[in-house]
Amino acid sequence: MKILLAVDGSKHALHAVDTLIELAEGYRVPPTVELVTVHPSVPQLPGLSKVVSKAQLQQYYEDEGAARLAEARTMLEGAGIDYEERVLVGSAAEIIAAHAKAKHCDMIVVGSRGLGAARSLLLGSTAAKLLQLAAVPVLVVR
């Protein structure tokens, strides 16, 4: 079983990590986890490349991604669950669905709401969109 676990550092995402850890206890062979976070693309403004290099922008994504993944990494390591981590860039739902397909994941686990306050009034917009786009089952954790 290969599970894509998408996190953004929010309390809902960390609850999704807890849920995945609980589910993993029921498997004879622990699942393989593809741990991802998706950072929105920085808008391509005219002249941006004169001020910020591609390397600087990539470092920004990696640093922000590492911070978002930190607690989930600690939790998975504490539970003895192996994982591969990735920092992806783009529109979260589309990127998560495409990555799950490309990595042949059997399931996606995601929190019901993310970090954005306005986006978390109901079911998070990313989770709702992911339910429409994903080609595999999606477990949305409240």
Q: Token match 């950072």: residue? A: 39
Please say whether the beta carbons of 1 and 106 come within 8 A: yes
Q: What is the dihedral of CA 128, 98, 141, 36, to 10 degrees?
A: -130
Please say whether the beta carbons of 72 and 123 come within 8 A: no
- Taking the model in full, what pTM does it have? 0.89
> Residue 121's pLDDT is what?
41
Q: Which amino acid is at 134?
A: A
Domain ranges, residue 76: 2-141
Please say whether the beta carbons of 137 and 107 come within 8 A: yes
Q: CATH no. for residue 29?
A: 3.40.50.620
CA angle 41, 91, 112 (to 5 degrees): 125
pLDDT single digits (tens) 111-120: 987 755 444 4
pLDDT single digits (tens) 45-102: 888 888 889 899 999 999 999 999 999 999 999 999 999 999 999 999 999 999 999 9
Which distant-in-sequence residues (6+ apart) come within 8 Å of 96 by Cβ? Answer: 4, 6, 36, 38, 88, 108, 110, 126, 130, 134
How many domains does the chain fold into? Answer: 1
